[in-house]
């Protein structure tokens, strides 16, 4: 398993993966040293994450290999289908899975998403429009949603 650390506007980010795909993208809550040489298997992920933060990429095109239960993977697949600039509620995700009573399990799977930003769990909000919990911290979730807002005001300065 290869790994690297890059600096992003939201903090240092660790990327893990190998020839089978990217298995983890995690924001760190500590100051780290950026990796000097990016392993070949992770180069596309680094490029695409940087493009996302620069505002030139809306969708990721990476081979993914997250580790989780079948249920978690089914939730993560639904998360991947949420378009850039859009949000969905936990209740709506439960309905898409065909079990409205699975809302807590859906929220739990969402919180265990190992592919920060790439699988956009930050686009899931409460039914009342609240940000609700976010493993990376609500300040990061707010930043990401504002970054993806199609109606954000452009600064003249």
Strands across the sheet containing 11-18: 2-8, 11-18, 21-27
Would you call 121 a catalytic residue per the annotation? Answer: yes
CB 153 within 8 A of CB 146: no
Q: Strand, helix or coil at 154? A: coil
Each residue of 105-118: b (16+ CB within 10 Å) or e? bbbebbebbbbbbb
Q: Which of 38, 121, 125, 144 is labelled catalytic?
A: 121
Quickly count: other Cβ atoms within 10 Å of residue 76's Cβ.
22
- Tell me how far apart the alpha carbons of residues 98 and 122 are, in angstroms, rounded to a whole number: 22
**Catalytic annotation, residues:** 121
């Amino acid at each position: 398993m290869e790994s690297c650390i890059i600096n992003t506007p939201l903090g240092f980010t660790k990327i893990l993966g190998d020839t089978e795909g990217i298995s983890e993208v995690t924001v760190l809550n500590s100051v780290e040293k950026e990796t000097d040489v990016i392993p070949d298997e992770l180069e596309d992920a680094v490029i695409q994450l940087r493009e996302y933060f620069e505002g030139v990429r809306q969708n990721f095109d990476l081979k993914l290999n997250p580790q989780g239960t079948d249920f978690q993977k089914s939730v993560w697949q639904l998360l991947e289908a949420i378009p850039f600039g859009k949000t969905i509620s936990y209740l709506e995700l439960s309905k898409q899975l065909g079990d409205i009573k699975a809302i807590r399990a859906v929220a739990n799977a969402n919180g265990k998403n190992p592919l920060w930003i790439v699988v956009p769990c930050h686009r899931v909000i409460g039914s009342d429009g609240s940000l609700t919990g976010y493993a990376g911290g609500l300040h990061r979730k707010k930043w990401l949603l504002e970054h993806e807002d199609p109606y954000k005001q452009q600064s003249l300065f």
